Structure 1
Amino acid sequence: MTRWLTEAVPRGRIAAFRTVIYLFVAADLVVFTPWVRTRASVPGELYQPLLVGRLLPLPTPTPTVVAVIFWVLLLAAVLAASGRAPRLLGWTVCALYLEWMIIAMSYGKVDHDRFGLLVALAVLPTAGRARHGDTTRTEAGGWALRVTQIAVICTYFLAAFAKLRFGGLDWLTGSVLARAIIRRGTDLADLVAQVPYLLIVAQFGIVAFELLSPVVFLLPARWRLAMVGFFYSFHVVTIATITISFAPHLAAMTSFLPLERVRPLGWARRLAGRDPVDVDTASAPPAQSSPGDQAPVVGRPAGP
């Protein structure tokens, strides 16, 4: 079990994953959850913090508190995406983003698509330093990715558990998707809804897919990537039909991908006519030939 949890991965994968996660945090502040800043104008008595907000001595949101968290978190996330000071900046982003989410979710609505992202932010500082393109392997980085993967799959599995716990079997045969389409459906969703019983079949399929999601850990690498691709396609359909993105969850799910192969800076150098230096080649000592490796010269006697 320990060997599986700490399966070594290339440091380049950690560097790329770190960049993806911290850039997403910056984008989340200005694109996906800028509405959190409006909480500063809500009367303090309406603030009902989550359990973690009640256990920790966190302040009631005020214009000053929210503004400081926003700007410091935005700057820290952008700097952390570069790989600098991975522990200092990593823990700073983790703490501030947790507080940002407590403020966001303490007014009556809690989104479960943030779980994997929060776990990723909590474990990335433990992965240590990593450079893009570095192929040397790290068990600490492997542990960080594995824990994030477990959180991603728990999001699916526990969502199915919640559906069956609170909705029972009626969730499968009810009008859950029909109501979602009425509230926020697209033209594509309207076409889908016209097919008899298709929404009921889809509800059975969603629960089955979520309950079976842990199977991804039992598959060989190639099939695991195919299943993760199915996960992404599921969310593409969700966005296209009922406009729910699960963007934080999708960012955390990149922990399954071989991100070390994605090197935009290297591609840019190639386009500019500059060949990037491979990390292994640059760090490896020059090869030295031994006398036994030299081929004999044709026509010359082998002896003295």
Structure 2
Amino acid sequence: MTGWLTEAVPRGRVAAFRTLVYLFVAADLVIFTPWVRTRVDVPGDLYRPLLIGRLLPLPTPTATLVGVVFWLLLVLALLAATGRAPRLLGWTVFALYLEWMIVAMSYGKVDHDRFGLLVALAVLPTAGRARHGDPTRTEAGGWALRVTQIAVICTYFLAAWAKFRFGGLDWATGSVLARAIIRRGTDLADLIAQVPHLLIVAQFGILAFELLSPLVFVLPERWRLAMVGFFYSFHLMTIATITISFAPHLVAMTSFLPLERVRPVVWARRLVARRRGPARSGDDDDPAPVAGPEPAVGPATA
């Protein structure tokens, strides 16, 4: 079990995952959750902190507190994406983002798509230094990625558990997807809803997929990547039909992928070199051809 948890991975994979995660944190602040800053306009007596916010305890959000967290987190996440000071910046970004999420989720709605990302932020500082493209393997980095993977799969499996806990089999046979389509469905969703019984079949399929998701850990690598591809296709369909993105979860799920093979800087250099093309003959910088000795011509043989 210990060997599985600390299965060594290339440092380049850890570096790529770290950069992606921290860049998403910065993007999250300005694209996905800028509304958190408006929480300070809500009366303080409506603030009901999550359990962790009560245990610490954390103060009721104010305009100053949220503003400081926002700007510090934005700057430090971008710095952490470079890979510098992985422990110092990593722990600081995790603490700030945790506070950002507590503020966001303490007013009545808790999104479960951020669990995997929060776990990734918590464990990445333990991976140590890692450089892009480095093939050297690291067990510390492997542990960080494995724990993130477990969190991603727990998001699926525990979602199925919650469905059974609060809805039982009625969740699968009810009108859950129908209500979601009525509230926020797209034109594609409207077409799907017209097919008799298809939404009920889809609800059973969602339950089966979530319950069977832990199988990803026992599959050979080729099939594991195929299953992760199915996870992404599921979320693509979710976006296309009921406009729910699960973006933080999708970022955390890249912990399953061989990210060390994705090297945009190298690709960019090759693209530039390809566009420049081979050097033209006759350029001033080209060396003049050196004449070699004339080939000897012998007598013809019969």
TM-score, length-scaled by structure 2? 0.90
- Please give the alpha-carbon distance, in whole angstroms, between the structure 2 residues aligned to 1:170 and 1:59: 40
- Please give the alpha-carbon distance, in whole angstroms, between the structure 2 residues aligned to 1:192 and 1:99: 40
- Please give the alpha-carbon distance, in whole angstroms, between the structure 2 residues aligned to 1:121 and 1:242: 28
Partner in structure 1 of residue 85 of structure 2? 85
- Please give the alpha-carbon distance, in whole angstroms, between the structure 2 residues aligned to 1:272 and 1:117: 34
1:41, distance to aligned residue in structure 2 (A): 1.3
Map 1:158-177 → 2, pairs under 5 A: 158-177=158-177
1:76, distance to aligned residue in structure 2 (A): 0.5
SS of the equivalent of 1:48 reads coil
- Please give the alpha-carbon distance, in whole angstroms, between the structure 2 residues aligned to 1:273 and 1:181: 49
Map 1:122-141 → 2, pairs under 5 A: 122-141=122-141
1:273, distance to aligned residue in structure 2 (A): 2.4
1:270, distance to aligned residue in structure 2 (A): 1.5
Partner in structure 2 of residue 69 of structure 1? 69
The code of the aligned residue for 1:135 comes to: P
Matched, 1:12 2:5: no
Map 1:145-224 → 2, pairs under 5 A: 145-224=145-224
- Please give the alpha-carbon distance, in whole angstroms, between the structure 1 residues aligned to 2:133 and 2:261: 8
Partner in structure 1 of residue 284 of structure 2? none
1:137, distance to aligned residue in structure 2 (A): 0.1
The code of the aligned residue for 1:181 comes to: I
Partner in structure 2 of residue 59 of structure 1? 59
| Superimposed CA distance per residue, residues 16-35 of structure 1 (whole angstroms, 9 cap, x where no aligned partner) | 00011000000100000000
- Please give the alpha-carbon distance, in whole angstroms, between the structure 2 residues aligned to 1:237 and 1:213: 17
- The ranges of structure 1 where at least 4 consecutive aligned residues each deviate by more than 3 angstroms after the TM superposition are none
| Superimposed CA distance per residue, residues 103-146 of structure 1 (whole angstroms, 9 cap, x where no aligned partner) | 00000000000000000000000000000000000000000000
1:40, distance to aligned residue in structure 2 (A): 1.4
- Please give the alpha-carbon distance, in whole angstroms, between the structure 2 residues aligned to 1:271 and 1:239: 32
Partner in structure 2 of residue 244 of structure 1? 244
The size of the alignment, in residue pairs, is 274
- Please give the alpha-carbon distance, in whole angstroms, between the structure 1 residues aligned to 2:261 and 2:80: 21
- Please give the alpha-carbon distance, in whole angstroms, between the structure 2 residues aligned to 1:93 and 1:53: 17
- What's the Cα RMSD here? 0.8
Partner in structure 2 of residue 42 of structure 1? 42
Map 1:97-108 → 2, pairs under 5 A: 97-108=97-108
SS of the equivalent of 1:273 reads helix
Partner in structure 2 of residue 286 of structure 1? none
- Please give the alpha-carbon distance, in whole angstroms, between the structure 2 residues aligned to 1:131 and 1:269: 18
- Please give the alpha-carbon distance, in whole angstroms, between the structure 2 residues aligned to 1:125 and 1:87: 4
- Please give the alpha-carbon distance, in whole angstroms, between the structure 2 residues aligned to 1:237 and 1:212: 19
Partner in structure 2 of residue 227 of structure 1? 227
Map 1:279-294 → 2, pairs under 5 A: none
SS of the equivalent of 2:273 reads coil
The code of the aligned residue for 1:159 comes to: A
SS of the equivalent of 1:200 reads helix
Structure 2: gaps (5+ residues): 275-302
SS of the equivalent of 1:272 reads helix
1:57, distance to aligned residue in structure 2 (A): 2.5
Structure 1: gaps (5+ residues): 275-304
The code of the aligned residue for 2:29 comes to: L
1:272, distance to aligned residue in structure 2 (A): 2.7
Partner in structure 2 of residue 298 of structure 1? none
SS of the equivalent of 1:196 reads coil
1:85, distance to aligned residue in structure 2 (A): 0.5
Identity %: 86
TM-score, length-scaled by structure 1? 0.89
1:271, distance to aligned residue in structure 2 (A): 2.1
- Please give the alpha-carbon distance, in whole angstroms, between the structure 2 residues aligned to 1:244 and 1:51: 26
- Please give the alpha-carbon distance, in whole angstroms, between the structure 2 residues aligned to 1:31 and 1:265: 25
- Please give the alpha-carbon distance, in whole angstroms, between the structure 1 residues aligned to 2:159 and 2:52: 21
Q: Which has the larger radius of gyration?
A: 2
Partner in structure 2 of residue 23 of structure 1? 23
Partner in structure 1 of residue 299 of structure 2? none
